Amino acid sequence: MVSLERKTYVEYLGVLIEGNLSWKHHINYIFSKISKAIGIIARLRHLVPRATLLNIYRSLIEPYISYGLVAWGQAANAHLNKLVILQKQVLRLMYFSDYTSHSAPLFACSGILPIKLLYFKLVASLLREIKNHCAPPNISELFTRFEQVHSYSTSSSEAGSLYS
């Protein structure tokens, strides 16, 4: 008989997955990576134009936030807020704003989406791909079209809605 070692989390394709799916470890991992990139932006902000800082954000920070977000984007707000605070912090640095200034105008000016809105955008994009038969089969097979669930006509089946 082989005994299995119990782990707090496992890493699969770069995403840290816990048994209870709280995503705490994965978000802490992202937090540490983003914090380092914010340090780079903080040192460069006096030396380069804002457009360059935004490109640095899109290269060093956004990939960590968006990778696997469809899976972990519904984590508890207590965990996600750590990343939202970092997003606001980096925007305030890039725009030389006071740390108490409202961040909504900064998100709008920069074209950067807050993590929750980015999550909704990525989920909508995935569902569009599934509906248009462009998603990978292993993901598409997780969903059924409403018209395949039953034979009678409903507003969901006529709209081409998906059932999971």
Taking the alpha carbons at both ends of the chain, their separation in whole angstroms is 38
Q: How many of the other CB atoms lie within 10 Å of CB of 141? A: 10
pLDDT tens for 82-91 read: 999 999 999 9
Name the percent of the chain lying above pLDDT 90.
67
pLDDT of residue 1: 83
* pLDDT tens sequence across 25-77: 999 999 999 999 999 999 999 999 999 999 999 999 999 999 999 999 999 99
pTM of the full predicted structure? 0.83
CA distance linking residue 112 with residue 99, whole number of Å? 18
Summarised one tens digit per residue, pLDDT across range 122-140 is: 999 998 898 888 888 888 8
Q: What is the DSSP string of 42-74?
A: HHHTTTS-HHHHHHHHHHHTHHHHHTTHHHHTT
The DSSP letter of residue 75 is S
Per the model's pLDDT, the better-predicted residue between 43 and 156 turns out to be 43
